[in-house]
């Protein structure tokens, strides 16, 4: 059986692991394999990224440059752009993007491309793991046929499994090495091979085996749909409590004192990142194949997607109260990452807010210590779109005072919130960051 030879190599730390895609998921995983003593290849089509890695330069805040450089210099981690390196790999882990199209259908272009790349170098006793978040069935219906066109068969000559990524950028408590791992192989042997691979990173009792790839794929969608639905609930209650004159943040704090049956979720200007805005879309799309409509899930996604527009309305109302129109107003956004203390702006609601305010004629700037520049349109996603680039501006008392409105979109821990309030004429707080501020509360408008 192919998994026995592979497992022996992992246990003896002679198995070479190739990670395809060196983004927010792939690069931390590649470094983790190198730290575990497995020879690791990091493969990416972006030559600029690979060049930085070869020089020991990390482009992710969650990957310390010192650790990266040590592994690269010692040859434990080899960054590469040439797919030929896959021929030497005993395991290939696919960590490529899985966005959706303008029609809200899954875009598996990168997954298919990665699978075809692996197939060109597939060999016996190899393990292939798909980690990119996707709909149930992708591993067996999309990836498996591409690999088996080589003439090799899953479960006999090589192993194939799905294992969802559970990385939480910016989380100092949970990392790859202490977060339980779910694995589901196309055959029991495939499951065991995947368990052996990830057992090099975490304790064996932290690996949870499921019946197959579909269960593992659905696990990931359940985790993030659960979050999407609960965030939508509090976002909807935010609008209701606003009309009723109730502070929802106070209500959530009170409800959270219950030691059972309640889990706190918090409202905000919208949801971002690659998971929560995307995963429910993948699930709803796949459900239609079975003539099933996920009304509850889709409504939650719509509610969350409406929050940037809701935030803009609150800014408009706040400006109106002081006799200023949005058109021509100077507005400074604090934070454009999709959540605090990270350097990832993917699908950030702050960027949608920028577009909505710009469409109304506002003069916009932003400050984010982790994101020096943002591009507001991607021609690969929106062909023919006009490209607008904004750069983070220094945060000074004079700049704050010159703004008609400051909008706190992301509450980075490094922000001196009392100081920001003190120097702002008007501050719209979308994150309840000003809860403890006492001086200048008359200038604060909460979302």
pLDDT of residue 111 exceeding 60, the answer is yes
pLDDT of residue 162 exceeding 70, the answer is yes
Predicted confidence at residue 1, as pLDDT, reads 52
> Where is pLDDT greater, at 251 or 3?
251
pLDDT band at 334 (very low <50, low <70, confident <90, very high): very high
263-291 mean pLDDT: 92
pLDDT of residue 384 exceeding 60, the answer is no
Tell me the domains of the chain and their CATH numbers.
2-211 (3.40.50.720), 220-305 (1.10.1040.10), 306-447 (3.40.50.720)
- The set of catalytic residues is 275
Predicted confidence at residue 380, as pLDDT, reads 47
293-327 per-position pLDDT tens digit: 999 999 999 999 999 999 999 999 999 999 999 99
34-48 mean pLDDT: 96
Predicted confidence at residue 2, as pLDDT, reads 60
Mean of the per-residue pLDDT values of the chain: 93
57-66 per-position pLDDT tens digit: 999 988 999 9
Predicted confidence at residue 160, as pLDDT, reads 98
Phi and psi dihedrals of 140, rounded to 5? -85, -30
DSSP-derived 3-state class of residue 305? helix
pLDDT of residue 76 exceeding 70, the answer is yes
Percent pLDDT > 70 in the chain is 97
Give the whole-angstrom CA distance, residue 444 versus residue 438: 10
Q: Are 147 and 154 in contact (CB under 8 A)?
A: yes
Predicted confidence at residue 386, as pLDDT, reads 53
414-429 mean pLDDT: 97
pLDDT of residue 435 exceeding 70, the answer is yes
339-357 per-position pLDDT tens digit: 999 999 989 999 999 999 9
209-229 per-position pLDDT tens digit: 999 999 999 999 999 999 999
187-196 mean pLDDT: 96
Q: What is the DSSP secondary-structure string of 335-366?
A: --SSSTT----TT-HHHHHHHHHHHTT-EEEE
User: Would you give the end-to-end CA distance of the chain in angstroms?
Assistant: 59
pLDDT of residue 402 exceeding 60, the answer is yes
**Residue 233 C-beta-side C-alpha neighbours within 13 Å:** 12
424-431 mean pLDDT: 97
Tokens of 82: 């040439």
Give the whole-angstrom CA distance, residue 373 versus residue 407: 18
Give the strands of the sheet with 159-162, arranged side by side: 77-80, 40-43, 17-20, 91-94, 127-130, 159-162, 181-185, 207-209
pLDDT band at 385 (very low <50, low <70, confident <90, very high): very low
pLDDT of residue 447 exceeding 60, the answer is yes
Predicted confidence at residue 382, as pLDDT, reads 46
pLDDT band at 381 (very low <50, low <70, confident <90, very high): very low
């Amino acid at each position: 059986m192919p998994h026995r030879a592979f497992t022996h190599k992992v246990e003896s730390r002679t198995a070479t692991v190739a990670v395809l895609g060196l983004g927010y998921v792939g690069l931390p995983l590649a470094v983790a394999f190198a730290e575990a003593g497995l020879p690791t290849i990091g493969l990416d089509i972006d030559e600029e990224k690979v060049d930085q890695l070869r020089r020991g330069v990390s482009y992710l805040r969650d990957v310390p440059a010192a650790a990266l450089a040590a592994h690269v210099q010692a040859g434990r981690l080899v960054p590469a752009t040439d797919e030929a390196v896959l021929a030497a790999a005993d395991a290939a882990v696919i960590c490529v993007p899985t966005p959706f199209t303008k029609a809200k259908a899954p875009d598996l272009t990168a997954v298919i491309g990665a699978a075809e790349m692996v197939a060109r170098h597939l060999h016996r006793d190899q393990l292939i793991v798909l980690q990119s978040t996707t709909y149930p069935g992708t591993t067996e219906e999309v990836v498996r046929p591409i690999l088996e066109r080589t003439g090799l068969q899953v479960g006999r000559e090589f192993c194939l499994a799905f294992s969802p990524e559970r990385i939480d950028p910016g989380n100092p408590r949970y990392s790859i090495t202490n977060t339980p791992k779910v694995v589901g192989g196309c055959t029991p042997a495939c499951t065991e091979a995947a368990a052996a691979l990830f057992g090099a990173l975490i304790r064996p009792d932290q690996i949870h085996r499921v019946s197959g790839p579909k269960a593992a794929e659905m696990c990931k969608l359940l985790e993030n749909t659960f979050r999407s639905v609960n965030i939508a609930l509090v976002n909807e209650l935010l609008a209701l409590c606003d009309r009723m004159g109730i502070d929802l943040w106070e209500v959530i704090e009170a409800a959270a004192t219950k030691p059972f049956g309640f889990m706190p979720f918090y409202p905000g200007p919208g949801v971002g990142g690659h998971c929560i805005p995307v995963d429910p879309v993948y699930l709803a799309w796949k459900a239609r194949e079975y003539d099933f409509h996920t009304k509850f899930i889709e409504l939650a996604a719509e509610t969350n997607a409406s929050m940037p527009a809701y935030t803009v309305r609150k800014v408009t109302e706040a400006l109106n109260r002081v006799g200023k129109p949005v058109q021509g107003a100077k507005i400074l956004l604090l934070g454009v990452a999709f959540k605090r203390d990270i350097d990832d702006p993917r699908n950030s609601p702050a960027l949608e807010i920028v577009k909505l305010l710009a469409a109304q004629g506002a003069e916009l700037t932003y400050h984010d210590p982790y994101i020096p520049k943002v591009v507001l349109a991607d021609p690969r996603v929106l062909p023919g779109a006009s490209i607008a680039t904004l750069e983070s501006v220094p945060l000074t008392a004079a700049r704050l005072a010159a703004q008609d409105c400051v909008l706190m979109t992301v509450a980075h821990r490094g922000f001196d919130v009392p100081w920001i309030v003190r120097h702002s004429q008007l501050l719209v707080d979308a994150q309840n960051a000003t809860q403890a501020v006492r001086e200048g509360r008359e200038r604060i408008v909460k979302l």
